[in-house]
Amino acid sequence: MSANHLVESLDSKRLEGSILTLDLSLLFIGLLCLGLVTLLADYAYMLYIHRKLPPGPIPLPLIGNTHLLPENKPWIYFEALAKQYDSPVITFWIGRNPTIWINDAWAASELLDKKAALYASRPRMLVFSELSGVGQYNLVNMYYGDRWRVHRKLTHQGVGLQQVRKYRGFQNNESQVMAFNILHDPERFVTHMERYATSVVSIIGFGRRVASISDPLITQVLAIMQRAAELNVPGKSFPMIMETFPWLAKFPKRIAPWLKPFGKGGRGSAFYYALADEANKTSQQEPCYVKQLFREAPKYNLIPTEIASLTGNLFGAGSDTSSSTLVTFALACCAFPETLPAAWEELDRVVGSHRSPSWEDEPHLPYVKAFVKEVFRWRSVAIIGGQPHSPTKDDYWKGYLIPKNSWVQGNTWAIHHNEREFPEPDRFNPNRFLCDSSDSRPFPNDKGYMTFGWGRRVCSGQGLAEQGTFISIARLLWAFRIEKARNKDGQEVPVDIFAYTNGLNMRPEPFSCSIVPRSEPIRDTIVAEGKEALLELSVYDGETKYTLSQFYEKPNVG
């Protein structure tokens, strides 16, 4: 090859390389422009929709308002936003999805109760539902439809309002045992409350009680429930940031450390199914909810994951929330001792010291009933009203659009801390619920609180929780002086009424208190009733061979 031909060949290759580089550059610029146009078009659509929605902060492209979320207790932030925009219903964008927050009792009643059928569904919940491994097999997550009706019917067969009255006998006995245990070991009052609540639902579900505070069913079940509750609170860190950027959930788990906490999914489901299958085969007691589920399984084509979910929901409806409510009760006693003498006077007059309260006393204990209602109101456990609702079609509130399938959340904190209905809302005041009291205010429902949610998605365990909370609080008020602990110098140890956990089902952070019987005759009655209750409950004694740790490496059931 001559020198001229070599030069021409090199020039030709340089030209081809330049053209290729130019082509790649143009392609990159084209893709960049296309991406920018798509982003601008998408953002323009977000702003267009935003103008139709209830008021709220203007969203940014892609991230919406997620960057504005506080690290803890966003329900307080949403309450402040409602005041800032002077609107009880506000919009807050999680990524590209608008979420609607209801911060007023009357607006919640108007939308979620009066339009119960319209707001009976659930939105897509990536973290809590899809990544958990159970998704649409769990009543809590299910979209509204025929399968939801089946699960709701089966749930009512376990904890419906007509059913729970049948449980009063062992529920009362377990409450007596709780008082007996607290008498002998007051420092671990929280654990005794957890054992009580877990044992009641274990008897209902499995036909066996939880006799010891060391039973792994207590710590493991509550750990599952509390962890699940954390996966329902909007956030800007992992894992909740995946609600803003769903594509983060599509990475292979081997290269996505933020997905590793979810493991293979379904571990809790496998655990609950094993407990249910064991009880179905071995329990001779009634009630035994899981035996009923297995009898109904062929009729409704229930798969193991559904049986596990129905069983697990029973614990969610009755163990974590009920024990958290009782711990809040103890905190209120310590923080507001001025509310206790009226309860003691009423209990001494109606009940006396030689027996503890019963459900038959309830009509004659109006102040104690008001005390229980104020516990539900003051620090509601399901602080954002449980799982979000979702309308099955577009709806409107005061001319504002609430889009189909959007996330609609009742902010129970804001509802129960509205100065209009509850003056000085952080003050624990049972008089709010006495009809002839000057502290009473109008409310859109007869109960005077919205602790258990709304409409067709109201908490399935409401009847069981209200029934058990009344008898337990009445008994503990009757039995003990629950006061602030004292240090070695005899000075009171202060308690913090704002020190609560950050999950959907919030509970007080650990605190110390003094719990002593109110009199010697009452002490004797606590002991006598506790021993008798243990004898009556002995028919439910039993153990399980399963623990949650056994299922960490097992695949999903179903």
Contacts of 352 (CB under 8 A, 6+ apart): none
Provide the 10 A C-beta neighbour count for residue 284.
9
Q: Does residue 3 have a pLDDT over 60?
A: no
Longest dimension (CA), the chain: 120
Judge whether residue 359 has pLDDT over 80: yes
> Does the pLDDT at position 10 exceed 80?
no
Beta strand ranges found along 324-394 (DSSP E): none
Whether 459 has a binding-site annotation, put simply, is yes
pLDDT in the model for residue 23: 67
In a 3-state reduction of DSSP, which class is residue 323?
Answer: helix
- Each residue's pLDDT tens digit, 104-142: 999 999 999 999 999 999 999 999 888 877 789 999 999
Residue with tokens 């671990």: 188
What rounded mean pLDDT belongs to the chain? 91
What is the 3 state secondary structure string of 86-131? Answer: CCCEEEEEECCEEEEEECCHHHHHHHHHCCCCCCCECCCCHHHHHC
Question: Is 200 buried (19+), middle (13-18) or exposed (0-12) by CB count in 10 A?
Answer: buried
Q: Which residues contact 499 (CB under 8 A, 6 or more apart)?
A: 508, 509, 511
When pLDDT is cut at 50, 70 and 90, the band that residue 519 belongs to is: very high
Confidence of residue 2 (pLDDT cuts 50, 70, 90): low
pLDDT at 558 over 50: no
To the question of domain 66-551 being in CATH 1.10.630.10, the answer is yes
pLDDT at 65 over 90: yes
Q: What percent of the chain is modeled with pLDDT above 70?
A: 93
Q: What is the DSSP-derived secondary structure letter of residue 143?
A: P
Q: Quick one: the chain helix, strand, coil %, rounded to 5?
A: 60, 10, 35
pLDDT recorded at residue 174: 98
Parallel, antiparallel or unpaired: strands 480-484 and 395-397: unpaired
pLDDT of residue 161: 87
- Structure tokens given for 520: 């010697």
What is residue 232's predicted lDDT score, i.e. its pLDDT? Answer: 76
pLDDT of the residue at 266: 60
- Give yes or no for a contact between 334 and 511, defined as CB atoms under 8 angstroms apart: yes
Bridging pattern class, strands 97-102 and 89-94: antiparallel
Q: Does the structure show a pLDDT above 90 at 298?
A: yes
Using DSSP, state whether 306 is helix, strand or coil. Answer: helix
Alpha carbon distance 330, 179 (integer Å): 13
419 has a pLDDT exceeding 80: yes
- Mind listing the pLDDT tens digit for each residue in 329-345? 999 999 999 999 999 99
CB 366 within 8 A of CB 431: no
Q: By C-alpha distance, which of 481, 517, 518, 474 is closest to 350?
A: 474
DSSP 493: P
| Residue 71 CB-density burial (10 A; 0-12 exposed, 13-18 middle, 19+ buried) | exposed
